[in-house]
Amino acid sequence: MSGDAGVVEGPLHGYHHETYVVPLAGWAVEAEPVRWKCREPRPGLLWFDRRCFASEEQLLRALQGRIEGIPDLIQAGSAGLQRFIEGETLGALYGSGDGIPRSLSGQIVSLFGQLARVKPHSLTVKRTCTSVYRAAEGDTDGFLERLILFTEEEVYQRNMPDFRGLFHELGLYEASFGTLREHVSGLTRRPFCLLHADLHRENFVVDGAGRLWTIDWELAMFGDPLYDLATHLYLMRYPSDQEDRMTERWCETVESAAPGSSAGWEADLPKLLAYKKAQSVFTDVIRTALSLAEQAELDEDLLVRAGGRVREVMSAATEPLGVGTPSEEVVTASLRKWCENYDPVGGEHRP
């Protein structure tokens, strides 16, 4: 495609895809070089979030002119390519926990307003999520219930054959989902809109002109607009004062775009954040265990650090899941035991 294998960059680091960046042979030369992303889903990947659209490229094509700062697309033969945004990720410029400049936070707020205007009936993009995982318009309780159901069935239960022992040693049982449902029920109804659902620092790119671009739309869905804010706040780890300002500006912006979008946010935002904390327990336990098992030899320092991260996410979710926080010794010993019984070749856990 590029005409010169030496100019191909990749594979780039990413969880969901194997990605290469290429300039296309014969493509018109602009003032700045234009490169495109060619990528494929990684085989055998564990998905911890539901996918609602059949194609990210189809979604981006439908959003052109409606959402600012998203990649252009072209068709190169049978391959659909996204324009590679030249710049630095927000995370490379401002690490987790750091505040970000108002010029950039303002662009994020503007993005939320644009998303609030994109209603489920206004896009004809093919959706793949089944009716089991779709809630009726405005049914925020039903929307959250389906997110919980996905975590319960597709993350917890589906991975039980390999992770049963580790889950149970950490105190993570089926009953935790009942506790979670009780903790987060009773949401205020809000009009549904398009959600990016994964707005963290590595999914924002700042170009040389200070413009913010939003990438990686594969987890986009229609649903409760407050869920997008909760996910964003949870992943961004803003300083507390900037988190408060972002929430205030979000409320003003989405209300202007779609009245009712921020209704009941004071009571509901903590509930949605509680779900994100609970969800992270199951995803982080699985990801941490698998990352340790990939090591040729289990490094004790790496194991201790990994155990500390698992304990941290469990501590944050003790109330919504109704579980205790195991000691560092218990977490580390449980992870070590799991790794010792894991078959990295077959990808199966020995009994």
Digit-coded pLDDT (tens) for 217-258: 999 999 999 999 999 999 999 999 999 999 999 999 999 999
Q: Which residues contact 65 (CB under 8 A, 6 or more apart)?
A: none
Task: Report residue 25's pLDDT band, with 50, 70 and 90 as the boundaries.
Answer: low
CA distance 220 to 199: 10
**pLDDT above 80 (res 7):** no
**pLDDT above 90 (res 311):** yes
Tokens at 346, concatenated: 């077959």
Number of structural domains (the chain) is 1
Integer angstrom CA distances of residue 124 from 60, 129, 258: 12, 14, 20
Tell whether 206 is covered by a domain.
Answer: no
Tell whether 62 is covered by a domain.
Answer: no
pLDDT for residue 79: 67
pLDDT for residue 344: 59
Tell whether 305 is covered by a domain.
Answer: yes
What's the pTM?
A: 0.90
Task: Report residue 113's pLDDT band, with 50, 70 and 90 as the boundaries.
Answer: very high
Q: What is the mean pLDDT of residues 147-175?
A: 96
pLDDT for residue 288: 96
How does DSSP classify residue 27? P
**pLDDT above 90 (res 185):** yes
Whether the Cβ atoms of residue 272 and residue 148 lie closer than 8 Å to each other: no
**pLDDT above 80 (res 202):** yes
Tell whether 178 is covered by a domain.
Answer: yes
Q: What is the mean pLDDT of residues 174-187?
A: 97
Q: What is the mean pLDDT of residues 328-350?
A: 80
Tokens at 105, concatenated: 């936070």
Backbone angles phi, psi at 135, to 5 degrees: -105, 155
Helix, strand, coil percentages, rounded to 5, for the chain: 50, 15, 40
Fill in the amino acid letter for 310.
V
Task: Report residue 348's pLDDT band, with 50, 70 and 90 as the boundaries.
Answer: very low
Task: Report residue 39's pLDDT band, with 50, 70 and 90 as the boundaries.
Answer: confident
pLDDT for residue 2: 62
Tell whether 315 is covered by a domain.
Answer: yes
Tell whether 222 is covered by a domain.
Answer: no
Whether the Cβ atoms of residue 113 and residue 257 lie closer than 8 Å to each other: yes
Query: What CA dihedral angle connects 302, 304, 306 and 311, to 10 degrees?
Result: -170
pLDDT, mean over the chain? 89
**pLDDT above 50 (res 82):** yes
Q: Which residues contact 327 (CB under 8 A, 6 or more apart)?
A: 311
pLDDT digits (tens, 9 = 90+) for 276-300: 999 999 999 999 999 999 887 888 9
- H helix and E strand count, the chain: 12, 12
**pLDDT above 70 (res 78):** no
Tell whether 203 is covered by a domain.
Answer: no
**pLDDT above 80 (res 120):** yes
pLDDT for residue 351: 41
Helix (H, G, I), strand (E, B) or coil at 217: coil
Tokens at 189, concatenated: 């109804």
**pLDDT above 60 (res 29):** no
For 165, the domain range is 141-189+280-349
Tokens at 35, concatenated: 């490169």
Q: Over pLDDT 70: what percentage of the chain? A: 88
Q: What is the mean pLDDT of residues 188-192?
A: 98
Tokens at 231, concatenated: 């996910």
Q: Which residue has the tokens 């995982």?
A: 133
pLDDT for residue 21: 79
pLDDT for residue 350: 45
Task: Report residue 3's pLDDT band, with 50, 70 and 90 as the boundaries.
Answer: low
Q: Which of 46-50, 62-66, 243-247 has the lowest mean pLDDT?
A: 46-50
**pLDDT above 70 (res 101):** yes
pLDDT for residue 284: 96
Judged on CB neighbours under 10 Å (0-12, 13-18, 19+), 330 is middle
pLDDT for residue 270: 98
Dihedral sign of CA atoms 36, 40, 41, 43 in order: negative
Tell whether 181 is covered by a domain.
Answer: yes
pLDDT for residue 4: 66
